[in-house]
A and B are shown apart, each in its own frame.
Chain A
Amino acid sequence: MVKILHLENPEIGKRFEAVRSSLTGWDQAWLDQLRAEAMTRFETTGIPGPKVEEWKYTNLGFLANENFAISNKARQQTEIKTLFDRAHMENIDGPVVVFVNGHIYPALSSYPDGHGISFAVFSENCQAFHPSLANIEYSSALNDLNRAMVTDGYSLEIAPDVVLAKPIQVIHIVTSATDMKLLPVRSQIIAGKKSKARIIETFIGAEGERYWSHMVSEVTLAAKAELSLVQFQLQGKQAIHMTELHTKVAEKANFSHISLQLGSEISRTELLNSFNGEFANVDLRGAYLGRIKQSHDIFTRINHDLPNCNSNQLYRGVLDEGGKSAFQGKVVVARDAQKTNADQSNKNLLLSRKAEANAKPELLIYADDVKCSHGATVGELDSNQLFYLRSRGLDEAAAKGLLVEAFVSEVFDDLDDEILRDKFKEKAAGWLAQELPS
């Protein structure tokens, strides 16, 4: 009985060959070669099956069976505008970068510019992505598939000491179309020494569409840099949404990632961090809300290879009828990484009978002078709290809503930007309102 660890789908390779000469930057020999190499690696590795530990809670079976078309540049302007308006935060008066179906959409975009900011888009300047595409440090099956098929992406470099006054909004829109689409997008962000920036990414898609959005981001923070990455996931209910984020954080730099998972049928958020210098901080937090066939998977790995670094993870999940979630957090403290502080907290609320929450907060520790802890809980709403609120005159739905909101708000209460905080609240409350009709 040999366990099948990896799945195969030869159609994907064939599809690649078929579209190879029409992919972005097809006329660049180096790019074509890197794509082909990535595809070869992908085919050799295969698609991780459910027996692969890292993919225990997200089944990639769909990849083995379905055939993806590379997304086209469909332009249903009114639809794009509607989706854009839902995602765009007007009151944040900053640059906006819009991708539609995995391709840059200049009509709605206003690229970030100004002193110390270099911004590039893959389809306009693929050379800017050469180092990242050639670097196979983060090579994995899905990363390589993304690399081979990548349609577009953005690159942002912030010069030392530059402080961005306004956050940059990046909006990924998927419009309705008939084919099952693959949307491989990449980004690379380099934050220079002592620079400071915030990027807000929103993923939004048409309802009723089956598509697979796959985003790979590589983020580097130089010493004392401060970067905040905010992600709203509002994909259509049948979508598959995956992000893979690699961060390298140098001395005394601060990186924070905060996400809200609301949409898609299958979502997977991979956050993989390593420290390049001491006294650096990483803060990862997020909320995932799921119901009816939805499955959210948060997968983190924080490598503490150097001493005196801090990492903090805080995740809250609310699962209702048919919703499923997994938190797989991993902290690895290397032998010399003394004085490491690492904390993981994962709490889940199950609102209904057919909900499921899985947690695997993992600690691997090889150093002795460290403070590491993790906590995980799963439970339902406290009946005493409910009773208290109801005795104060709130109806059941309102009382439940209030408690769930309080439970989730721990994730974004500390946000220093009021507009963002309100957006989180609004989105979460919208979900809850659908959830708990009064």
Chain B
Amino acid sequence: MVATKEAQKTVEDVTGEYKYGFVTDIETEKAPKGLSEDVIRFISAKKDEPEWLLDWRLKAYAKWLTMEEPTWAMVEYPEIDFQDIYYYSAPKSADDGPKSLDEVDPELLRTYEKLGISLQEQEVLAGVAVDIVFDSVSVATTFRKKLKEAGIIFCSISEAAHDYPDLMKKYLGSVVPVADNFYSCLNSAVFTDGTFVYIPKGVRCPMELSTYFRINEANTGQFERTIIIADEGSYVSYLEGCTAPQRDENQLHAAVVELVTHDDAEIKYSTVQNWYPGDKEGKGGIYNFVTKRGACRGKNSKISWTQVETGSAVTWKYPSCLLIGDGSVGEFYSVAITNNYQQADTGTKMMHIGKNTSSTIISKGISAGKSQATYRGLVKVMAGAENARNFTQCDSLLIGDQCGAHTVPYIEIKNPTAQVEHEATTSKISDEQLFYCLQRGLEVEDSVALIVNGFCKDVMQHLPMEFAVEAQKLLGISLEGSVG
């Protein structure tokens, strides 16, 4: 079992020491600690929101007070004191609204540079527009003009509430209802910012849209809300990536993402999640309780989720697809790596409602150290969903004998024409595999990287180019140009 120890070390190198652990010192403007109607009014006022949105928030808050935290996930964490969290903080300079990068706080820019996503570079690099969320307020948006020419709306959710109230009213909460679950309800009450994307009919978004989320201020919960609407025949690829500074206290993140595709439209949503996972003793780290759901409302529409999850102390995340339109397609590709004391309970839901709908689920879990990774998924075929197809594969790789890998799939079929297949395996890196690589002159680290890479390949292939590099770094593997 010598190899296993080495392997563990490699995975630690990959996910263990958090490279992005630093705190940027910027004055922030905070709402008082805790949650109350007043705090919600404060947030709403701060955002200069229309009356209907405030009402919407207050209704959500009233509902939230009656709800209980879910306990069914296989994760353990100390009870969260929801009154011990700041629900709003914004970089001070945001009030003036920087018109260009030059106006942006230089400290902020330096933070991004450390993260390797300097805006200048981003601007120069063709194809990517970045809407940066730094502690809950958008501070800079690029390429908007170019997108505007194509008729695409790409703005913060607060702006959308002002400028496109009709669209907001129509879609906000339409996929993830306010009372869907405890955290989505909390988010509905206190969401501070996020991204709003609308792709008009027949438009293929000329570039990949990307938002970098970043949690900075201590004790600030991050409550993002993302809405992406792809109108008839349109296409958009959206990238979401996250890093956060190192700190001791647990931070709560409860985001909501809503996707809607109309006839023949497609949304590809990719995530690289690398928030602070806590230290080696399991202290600190982000709590990531996210509700992500896409509704394929139109015929032949498609929603594809790809995620690489390496961070967070506790992850609770199930990007789902409602396949309503006939012939619609849902996909879920996931790699989840957990190390040390990380816990991840993640998976997907595929709800087959329309006829001839199909879905694919590929989930790869890698657990090392004392971590626990769980795949939890539901494939449901309703009585009217003729000819539904699903293929599910979830594989787990265990590195070390202190970790756990779990699979909890639910299959619920009410239509005989459905064809549903589910496969799962659990294994470890075999000594034979390692020996084979070593014998050919590879270092142990490289060998493990190679094997892990091979294990995850099915998923990595679906990542957009922009993310491939980061994912590569995160997995510590060389993809040898196989990702496109």
A residues touching B (Cβ–Cβ < 8 Å)?
1-3, 53, 335, 338, 348, 350-380
Asked if A358 and B68 make an inter-chain contact with CB atoms under 8 angstroms apart, the answer reads no
Chain A residues with CB below 8 A from B80, complex form? none
Partner of B418 from the list A350, A370, A372 (CB cut-off 8 Å) is A350
B residues touching A (Cβ–Cβ < 8 Å)?
4, 66-68, 72, 74, 381, 383, 396, 398-428
For residue B413, give the distance in angstroms from its CB to the closest CB of chain A: 4
Interchain CA distance A379-B402 in the complex, whole Å: 38
Cross-chain pairs A/B with CB under 8 angstroms, 10 sampled: A354-B383, A357-B412, A364-B74, A368-B428, A369-B401, A375-B421, A375-B424, A376-B422, A378-B413, A380-B418
For residue B451, give the distance in angstroms from its CB to the closest CB of chain A: 14
Closest to A370 in B: B426
Partner of B424 from the list A338, A354, A368, A374 (CB cut-off 8 Å) is A374
Closest to A362 in B: B408
Chain B residues with CB below 8 A from A358, complex form? 410-413
Asked if B407 and A378 make an inter-chain contact with CB atoms under 8 angstroms apart, the answer reads no
Binding site secondary structure of chain B:
strand
Interchain CA distance A366-B374 in the complex, whole Å: 11
Asked if A367 and B401 make an inter-chain contact with CB atoms under 8 angstroms apart, the answer reads yes
Centre residue among A352, A358, A362, A368 by max chain B CB count within 10 A: A368
Asked if B383 and A378 make an inter-chain contact with CB atoms under 8 angstroms apart, the answer reads no
Chain A residues with CB below 8 A from B402, complex form? 335
Chain B residues with CB below 8 A from A380, complex form? 416-419
Chain A residues with CB below 8 A from B425, complex form? 372-373
- Extra contacts besides A370-B427, A376-B409, A379-B419 (11): CB < 8 Å: A350-B413, A354-B383, A356-B413, A359-B409, A359-B411, A360-B408, A360-B411, A365-B396, A370-B426, A374-B423, A378-B420
Chain A residues with CB below 8 A from B419, complex form? 377-380
Partner of A335 from the list B401, B410, B423 (CB cut-off 8 Å) is B401
Known: A367-B401, A369-B428. A374 touches B422 (CB 8 A): yes
Chain B residues with CB below 8 A from A363, complex form? 405-407, 424, 426
Interchain CA distance A370-B404 in the complex, whole Å: 12
Chain A residues with CB below 8 A from B398, complex form? 365, 367-368, 370
Chain A residues with CB below 8 A from B406, complex form? 362-365
Interchain CA distance A361-B423 in the complex, whole Å: 10
For residue B467, give the distance in angstroms from its CB to the closest CB of chain A: 29
Partner of A361 from the list B399, B422, B427 (CB cut-off 8 Å) is B422
Asked if B404 and A375 make an inter-chain contact with CB atoms under 8 angstroms apart, the answer reads no
Chain B residues with CB below 8 A from A368, complex form? 4, 398-401, 403, 428
Chain A residues with CB below 8 A from B417, complex form? 380
Chain B residues with CB below 8 A from A335, complex form? 401-402
Asked if A360 and B409 make an inter-chain contact with CB atoms under 8 angstroms apart, the answer reads yes
Partner of B423 from the list A53, A354, A375 (CB cut-off 8 Å) is A375
For residue B277, give the distance in angstroms from its CB to the closest CB of chain A: 20
Interchain CA distance A371-B426 in the complex, whole Å: 6
For residue A41, give the distance in angstroms from its CB to the closest CB of chain B: 23
